Amino acid sequence: MKRILPAILMACCIPVMSFAQGGPGAQGPPGGFGGRGGRGAPPPQGKVGAPADFTGYWVSPVFEDYRWRMFTPLKGDAASVPINPAGRKIVDSWDPAKDEAAGEQCKAYGAAAIMRVPGRLHITWQDDNVLKIETDAGTQTRLFHFTGQPPKDAEPSWQGYSAARWDRGVAPGPPTVPVGFQPRQGGRSRTLDVVTTQLQAGYLRKNGVPYSANTTVTEYYDHWAEPSGQEWFTVTTVVSDPDYLAIPFVTTTDFKKEPDGSKFNPKPCSTR
């Protein structure tokens, strides 16, 4: 019995380990993505290769972390963020008036944090190889590039440079692994992978929880649908910062598709 139990536990972990391998950040071709392995040519990229339609208007219902997402946290509150001592010093010295005086009201709206800011998105294709995400919170624009490498001489910015790749995903099938690993009905697993670099230093939360210019943001987008046909996507965001985080900071955020843009209401960045 003692030998059987470890074998069962290892078998349960295999799908998770396989899912993690070969994603952005793993060893493989240049551009921030690892090899997928297996047989066959890689899937086509850009608009022509899209396995799911992300275009349209989306809203982010706040199901969790209400106190940190819907309100500006109190000074010094970095709960659940794995900041290191250097990061703690910045949190404790946060002063929104200084950010306003420096014209840095958008420090909490950079790529490492923007998907957690409550609000709406408008997603379109800028061209055949660039997917554009516009946010009404802070009026930010993210560009997901399916071809090319980040310009070496580009200036850091709030949204940085995002290299994107469609993922083959995992089609729904009979339950062969424990509950919690099976894709949702009509959905795929890891529809889109995105790696963002060349960032300007900013905040993970409005109250000064920092990330540095050396940060890499890796995102996994899962497009799925309810049995009713209602479309959603879930983004898992992994923020890796060697300067201010002891370990990567991981969050998941859900977005629900809306019928039109009647509720899309762009507002400028705010420090408070």
Lowest mean pLDDT among 36-40, 125-129, 242-246: 36-40
First to last CA, the chain: 58
Of the candidates 254, 205, 234, the residue with the CA atom closest to the CA atom of residue 78? 205
Amino acid code (one letter) for 18: S
Q: What's the CA angle centered on 135, arms 133 and 140, to 5 degrees?
A: 85
Whole-angstrom Cα distance, residue 69 to residue 248?
A: 19
- 11 Rama class: left (phi>0) / alpha (psi -120 to 50) / beta: alpha
Tokens of 138: 């802070």
pLDDT tens digits, residue range 17-64? 333 333 333 333 334 454 444 456 777 899 999 999 999 999 999 887
Tokens of 157: 């910015």
Tokens of 166: 């469609």
Burial string for 168-200 (b: 16+ CB within 10 Å, else e) reads ebbeeeeeeeeeeebbeebbbbbbbbbbbbbbb
Q: What whole-number percentage of the chain has pLDDT above 70?
A: 76
DSSP string, 71-120: SPPPTT--TTS-B-HHHHHHHHT--HHHHHHTT-TTTTSSTTTGGGSSSE
pLDDT tier at 1, thresholds 50, 70, 90: very low
Q: Looking at residues 241-252, what average pLDDT do you find?
A: 97
DSSP run (H or E) holding 181: none
Whole-angstrom Cα distance, residue 194 to residue 220?
A: 7
Q: How far is CA 28 from the centre of its chain?
A: 21
pLDDT tier at 137, thresholds 50, 70, 90: very high
Q: Which residues contact 87 (CB under 8 A, 6 or more apart)?
A: 78, 81, 209, 210, 243, 244, 245
DSSP run (H or E) holding 257: strand 249-258
User: What long-range pairs does 145-153 form, CB within 8 A, spacing at least 24?
Assistant: 146/45, 146/46, 146/49, 147/45, 147/46, 149/30, 149/31, 150/197, 150/198
Give yes or no for residue 11 having a pLDDT over 70: no
